[in-house]
C-alpha cells in the first residue's frame, strides 16, 4: 500500500476536530437559551389574555351619588356638594336691587337646587351665611322683609318646611342681609339630622 493511501485511510477514521466540537456545543447552548427565553414570554401572553378577558367581564363601578346615564337615572351634577342625604347644586349668588330698611345693609340672594339622594323622606334643613369678615348674616324671614322682597317670596318659601321624597328635587332661594361693603363668603347647610357642611362661595 502506498504512503498516500495509508494517509487517506487514517484521515477517514480520525475523530472530529476540536473546532467542530466547540461549534456544536455553542449551537446547543444557543438553542437552550432561545427555549428558556421563549417559554416565559408565551406564558405571560396567555396570562395577559386571561386577565384582559376577566377585566372586560367585570361590571362598571359608579361613584356614590352618580348613576350611569345609559339607564336614564340621576347623574350627580358637576360642582355639587352632598351633606347628609341632601345634594346641593347650581349654587349662585347675587346682590338684590331691593334695599333693606337698614341703610348700611344689603340683600344677597343665594339660589340652589336641593335633591334628596337618600332612601327616606328628608325635610330641608337650614341655611346660614358668613360674610368675608367672618360675621354671621341675618336671614330675611320676617313678614316685612318677605313683603319687601316681592316676587322672591315664592322662591324663598320653596325651602321652608318642605319634605322631599327620595329622589325629589326642589329649587329655591334664601336671602340674607349683610354689610354693604362686604361679600358673602361661605354658606352653611344644617340638615335635620347628621353633620352640617360648609360651602365656600366664589
The pLDDT tens digits of the residues spanning 13-72 come to 455 555 555 555 555 555 555 455 445 554 554 444 333 333 333 322 223 333 333 334
Give the C-alpha separation, 39 to 98, whole Å.
81
104 and 193 both lie in a single domain: yes
Instruction: List all residues 6 or more positions away from 39 whose beta carbon is below 8 Å from its beta carbon.
Output: none
Mode of pairing for the β-strands spanning 122-123 and 138-139: unpaired
Residue 124 pLDDT greater than 60, yes or no:
yes
Distance CA 166, CA 12 (A): 100
Tell me, what's the pLDDT at 70?
36
Burial level of 146, CB count in 10 A (0-12/13-18/19+)?
middle
95 and 178 share a domain?
yes
How many domains, in total, are found in the chain? 2
Q: Please tell me the predicted confidence (pLDDT) of residue 149.
A: 94
Residue 6 has a pLDDT of 44
Which tops the pLDDT comparison, 129 or 40?
A: 129
**Residue 47: inside a domain:** yes
Give residue 79's pLDDT. Answer: 72
Percentage of the chain with pLDDT > 70? 61
* Percent of the chain residues past pLDDT 90, beyond the cut: 56
Q: Does residue 152 lie within any of the structural domains?
A: yes
Residues 28 and 121 in one domain: no
Query: What are the backbone angles phi and psi of residue 36, rounded to the nearest 5°?
Result: -65, -35
- Tell me the pLDDT band of 166, cut-offs 50, 70 and 90: very high
pLDDT tens for 141-154 read: 999 999 999 989 99
Asked whether residue 117 falls in the same domain as residue 30, the answer is no
Is 138 a residue whose pLDDT tops 50? yes
CA distance 44 to 52: 12
Local structure of 42: helix, strand or coil:
helix
Residue 164 included in any domain:
yes
Per the prediction, the chain carries an average pLDDT of 75
Statement to judge: residues 41 and 130 lie in one domain: no
Of 184, 186, 190, 152, nearest to 171 by C-alpha is 152
At residue 102 the predicted structure's pLDDT band, cuts being 50, 70 and 90, is: very high
Q: Is residue 144 part of a domain?
A: yes
Residue 64 lies in a domain: no
- Residue 115: domain span: 80-200
Tens of pLDDT, residues 58-98: 322 223 333 333 334 445 455 789 999 999 999 999 999 99
Q: For the chain, give me the number of helices (H) and strands (E)?
A: 4, 10
Amino acid at each position: 500500500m502506498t504512503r498516500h493511501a495509508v494517509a487517506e485511510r487514517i484521515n477517514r477514521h480520525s475523530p472530529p476536530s476540536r473546532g467542530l466540537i466547540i461549534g456544536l456545543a455553542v449551537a446547543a447552548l444557543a438553542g437552550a437559551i432561545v427555549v428558556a427565553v421563549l417559554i416565559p414570554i408565551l406564558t405571560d401572553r396567555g396570562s395577559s389574555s386571561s386577565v384582559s378577558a376577566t377585566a372586560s367581564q367585570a361590571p362598571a363601578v359608579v361613584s356614590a351619588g352618580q348613576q350611569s346615564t345609559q339607564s336614564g337615572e340621576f347623574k350627580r351634577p358637576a360642582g355639587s356638594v352632598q351633606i347628609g342625604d341632601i345634594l346641593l347644586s347650581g349654587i349662585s349668588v347675587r346682590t338684590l336691587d331691593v334695599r333693606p330698611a337698614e341703610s348700611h345693609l344689603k340683600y344677597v340672594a343665594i339660589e340652589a337646587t336641593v335633591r334628596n339622594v337618600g332612601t327616606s323622606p328628608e325635610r330641608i334643613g337650614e341655611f346660614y351665611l358668613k360674610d368675608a369678615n367672618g360675621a354671621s348674616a341675618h336671614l330675611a324671614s320676617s313678614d316685612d322683609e318677605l313683603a319687601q322682597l316681592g316676587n322672591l317670596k315664592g322662591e324663598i318659601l320653596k325651602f321652608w318646611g318642605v319634605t322631599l321624597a327620595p329622589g325629589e328635587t326642589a329649587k329655591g332661594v334664601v336671602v340674607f342681609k349683610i354689610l354693604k361693603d362686604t361679600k358673602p363668603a361661605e354658606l352653611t347647610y344644617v340638615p335635620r339630622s347628621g353633620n352640617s357642611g360648609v360651602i365656600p362661595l366664589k
